[in-house]
Amino acid sequence: MRRVVEGSHAVSHAVDLARVRVISAYPITPQTHIVERLAELVADGVLDARFIRVESEHSAMAAVIGAASAGVRSFTASSSHGLALMHEMLHWAAGARLPIVMAEVNRAMGPGWNIWADQTDSLSQRDTGWLQFYCEDVQDVIDTILIAYRVAERVSLPVMVVLDAFFLSHTYEPADLPEHADVDEFLPPWEPVEVLDPAEPRAFNQLASPEFYMEFRHKMQQAMDEALAAYPEIDRAFAARFGRTHPLVEHIPAEDGARAPLALVTTGTITSTARAALAELRDRGTPVDLVKLRALRPFPQDEIRRVLGPYGRVAVIDRNLSFGYGGIFAQEIRAALSSLADRPVVYPFVAGLGGRDVTPDTVRAVVDRALDDEPPGDILWAGLKE
Amino acid sequence: MPIDLPPSERMTSGHLACPGCGAAIAMRFVLKGLGDRVVMVIPACCWSIIAGPFPYTALKVPVLHTAFETGGAVASGIRAALDVKGDHETQVVTWAGDGGTFDIGLQSLSGAAERGEDILYVCYDNEAYMNTGVQGSGATPEGAWTTTTPTGSPKATRKKDIMQIMAAHAIPYAATASIAYPEDLVRKVQKAASIRGTKFLHIFATCPTGWKVPSEVSVGLARLAVQTRIFPLYEVEDGERYTINVEPKGYLVDAYFKAQGRFKHLTAEDLERIQERVDHGWSRLEALARIA
Ligand SMILES: Cc1ncc(C[n+]2csc(CCOP(=O)(O)OP(=O)(O)O)c2C)c(N)n1
Ligand SMILES: [Mg+2]
């Protein structure tokens, strides 16, 4: 069914479509619309689930860990300071191999208080063992929540579905909301391997000595690899049913069959801005190819090498910053490309921190600088005031 | 006098508790009081160790080990999951130490109690962070030595009154219990298990290692804590109806304090001051019990 939906409500309705049974969350701007709509759906009996109104994000994650450990499909949502407060439990969810899905609205970290878009919150959680998928638009949000459960339950790891504050969380767009019956076929009920069950008493998450711990971690890495390997097949199954595809690395050449001198890599809503800006540049005779990167973890290294390797130059726009280094996606991309003997020069731009607009002008400036003979450097600031 | 307890044993030998560990005794009694439909949550505490490392477990109930401050929240999640599966019978029991209850876990416990989660939260109180080597907690009594309240400046403030905090949540049932009174303890577990809503059990559990006492005095010392009125045994229903369960003999506190290495630096004046506090606490409790 085609409807005009807010990005946040798209999350809520996708959670309903996924037939989630336990939801626990704590409010934080700009995630609130997600949980308010979910609380309504549960209260109105539309969604047959329990909503646990906890006293903190740390407890929200702890509660869904408890629920998922008892074998029930679970969901939470957070943002920024809330996500940071959850940090310990993110490790716990992944280490316990629970297929929890969380919507995470990218918001800047304080101080000073800033509620606007910035990816540093989710990127700071890189090494917790969560998969992270970044969304471009409202349709992407709906589809990604559904895909996330399927991937999570396939490999027994949690997935963060990430959307930009306001630019996506509070934007209304027409989108297709699938039918329950179709989603049920794409996403059958979760069949957990082991659950808390008085009939079969086991201990979960207990002491793991050096004799065992490393193998547990090795298995988590294998699960990440499996997620990467299984993703195309899951994406195909999704496309077969719903007619849309969401590759982890989407290659959008300016001109079919030709390779532009520069590829621009973007994530999140900046991709939509870049699509428009690059189309205009192409029409004015400056072709630049676009690469939409969807995953931070598992990082699609082979795909990145295959797609970006042949370019002479690659520009990356990061709406995030690892202090003392630079943009985080650029860092990951440069690391992946480093194993190629012949590799592109990477121009790592940092832009749009704390919700500063990344406009078509910003994109054009980035392109100009990367095509110009500006030395690539380790960090290039875009849109910084003098 | 023979004691009358359910014969079931859901704790095995081979666990990793120190000799005389009150927390181990408490667990054994609590499991006797619960049926076999139990899921247990253990946040970080000595019991994270005692229960045994992967791939072993000393408990014949399913256990979810979890992070230190999450006892209330994780139990709430399990309760919700069991409920949506249609299982309203299985008891979800959190088993936490005093640090995990009085201090770092107080927030998630308070949240669960405020929501009225149908869980049984058991705090075994050994009056310090024992897992990490006897650091002071909010449950450490005034005057006690711990590694973070060393003899030169032992703990200057009083033990937090967790029972008042829980009573203030107006939960249907809160009770103190002691490893020295197993029948009273088991009865309270059974009573708690028969009530829907949030139940809280505060169990006094001697730690010979941390209190610097010989392991064989563990139970006797716990009895002395009750008989001196330092740790009275009582129940609070709906946050207001107080019932005292064991009438203490009212021994002077000296005997209790002098028996323990952690208090050996206390002076006669210290003990006098503490005696006054204990007397005052007792008359307050009696007054509350009279109102009910
Ligand atoms: C967030 C966090 N901080 C600190 C610790 C370290 N830690 C583990 S157990 C423990 C003490 C537990 O004390 P208590 O709850 O009284 O239980 P006991 O060890 O005395 O049985 C501490 C400080 C931890 N596991 N997690
Ligand atoms: Mg303790």
Q: Is pLDDT of B154 > 90? A: yes
Question: For residue A386, what are the contacts with CB-CB under 8 A and spacing of at least 6?
Answer: none
pLDDT in tens, A183-200: 999 999 999 999 999 999
Q: 3-class DSSP state for residue B173?
A: strand
Distance between alpha carbon A66 and the CA centroid of its chain, in Å? 24
Average of per-residue pLDDT across B199-212 = 98
Ligand 2 center–CA B133 separation, angstroms: 10
B226 lines ligand 1 (CB under 6 A): no
Q: Please tell me the number of Cα atoms within 13 Å of A133 on its side-chain side.
A: 29
Percent of chain A that is helix, strand, coil (3-state, to 5):
40, 20, 40
> What distance in Å separates the CA atoms of residue A262 and residue A246, rounded to the nearest whole number?
23
pLDDT in tens, B171-194: 999 999 999 999 999 999 999 999
> What distance in Å separates the CA atoms of residue A203 and residue B201, rounded to the nearest whole number?
23
Average of per-residue pLDDT across B209-214 = 98
- Is residue B165 one of the residues assigned to a domain? yes
- Is residue B147 one of the residues assigned to a domain? yes
Ligand 1 pocket mutation pick from B45, B107, B121, B125 by most atoms within 8 angstroms of CB: B45
Q: Hey, which CATH number is domain A2-242, 3.40.1280.10, 3.40.50.970, 1.10.10.10, 3.30.70.20?
A: 3.40.50.970
Of B56, B63, B81, the CB nearest to A72: B81
Contacts of B114 in chain A (CB under 8 A): 55
Q: Is pLDDT of B292 > 80? A: no
What pLDDT score does A374 carry? 82
In this prediction, residue B85 has a pLDDT band, given cuts at 50, 70 and 90, of very high
Q: What are phi and psi of A168, to 5 degrees?
A: -120, -45
B52 touches chain A (CB under 8 A): yes
A214 touches chain B (CB under 8 A): no
For residue B243, the domain's CATH number is 3.40.50.970
Domain ranges of chain A: 2-242, 250-381
Atom of ligand 1 nearest to the CA of B207: 20
What pLDDT score does A16 carry? 98
CB pairs under 8 A between A and B: 162
What pLDDT score does A31 carry? 98
Ligand 1 center–CA B121 separation, angstroms: 17
Average of per-residue pLDDT across B248-277 = 97
The domain of B188 spans 22-291
Selected residue with higher pLDDT from B35 and B282:
B282
| Same fold yes or no, A2-242 and A250-381 | yes
Average of per-residue pLDDT across B280-286 = 98
What pLDDT score does A267 carry? 98
pLDDT in tens, B132-150: 999 999 999 999 999 999 9
Cβ atoms < 10 Å from Cβ of A276: 11
Residues B43/B68, Cβ–Cβ less than 8 Å: yes
What pLDDT score does B35 carry? 87
> What distance in Å separates the CA atoms of residue B139 and residue A279, rounded to the nearest whole number?
66
Atom of ligand 1 nearest to the CA of B103: 15
Residues B100/B162, Cβ–Cβ less than 8 Å: no
- Is residue B169 one of the residues assigned to a domain? yes
Residues of chain A under the 50 pLDDT cut:
none
- Burial degree of A23 (CB within 10 A; 0-12, 13-18, 19+): buried
Is A66–B48 a contact, with Cβ atoms under 8 angstroms apart?
no
Atom of ligand 1 nearest to the CA of B124: 21
- Is residue B7 one of the residues assigned to a domain? no
Is B49–A52 a contact, with Cβ atoms under 8 angstroms apart?
no
What pLDDT score does A386 carry? 86
Residues in chain B: 292
B46 lines ligand 1 (CB under 6 A): yes
What pLDDT score does B3 carry? 83
> What distance in Å separates the CA atoms of residue B45 and residue B129, rounded to the nearest whole number?
8
What pLDDT score does A229 carry? 98
Q: How many domains does chain B have?
A: 1
CA-based radius of gyration for chain A: 21
In this prediction, residue B236 has a pLDDT band, given cuts at 50, 70 and 90, of very high
> What distance in Å separates the CA atoms of residue B33 and residue B186, rounded to the nearest whole number?
5
Distance from CA of A81 to the nearest CA of B (A): 17
In this prediction, residue B40 has a pLDDT band, given cuts at 50, 70 and 90, of very high
Extended strands (E) in chain A: 2-6, 22-25, 50-53, 74-79, 101-106, 131-134, 159-164, 172-176, 203-204, 249-252, 262-266, 289-293, 295-297, 313-318, 345-350, 380-381
Task: Using alpha carbons, select from B74, B71, B4, B63 the residue that is nearest to residue B38.
Answer: B63
- Is residue B192 one of the residues assigned to a domain? yes
What pLDDT score does A353 carry? 98
Residues B234/B173, Cβ–Cβ less than 8 Å: no
> What distance in Å separates the CA atoms of residue A281 and residue B134, rounded to the nearest whole number?
68
B132 lines ligand 1 (CB under 6 A): yes
- Is residue B108 one of the residues assigned to a domain? yes
Q: Hey, which CATH number is domain A250-381, 3.40.630.190, 3.40.50.920, 3.90.580.10, 3.40.50.300?
A: 3.40.50.920
Q: Which two tokens stand for residue B203?
A: 């169990």
Ligand 1 pocket mutation pick from B108, B121, B125, B131 by most atoms within 8 angstroms of CB: B131
| Nearest Cα residue to atom 4 of ligand 1 | B68
Q: Which residues surround ligand 2, an ion (CB under 5 A)?
A: B 97-98, 126, 130
Contacts of A196 in chain B (CB under 8 A): 39, 62, 64, 78
| Nearest Cα residue to atom 5 of ligand 1 | B68
B211 lines ligand 1 (CB under 6 A): no
Is A206–B81 a contact, with Cβ atoms under 8 angstroms apart?
no
Is B110–A49 a contact, with Cβ atoms under 8 angstroms apart?
no
- Is residue B233 one of the residues assigned to a domain? yes
Task: Give percent of chain B with pLDDT exceeding 70.
Answer: 100
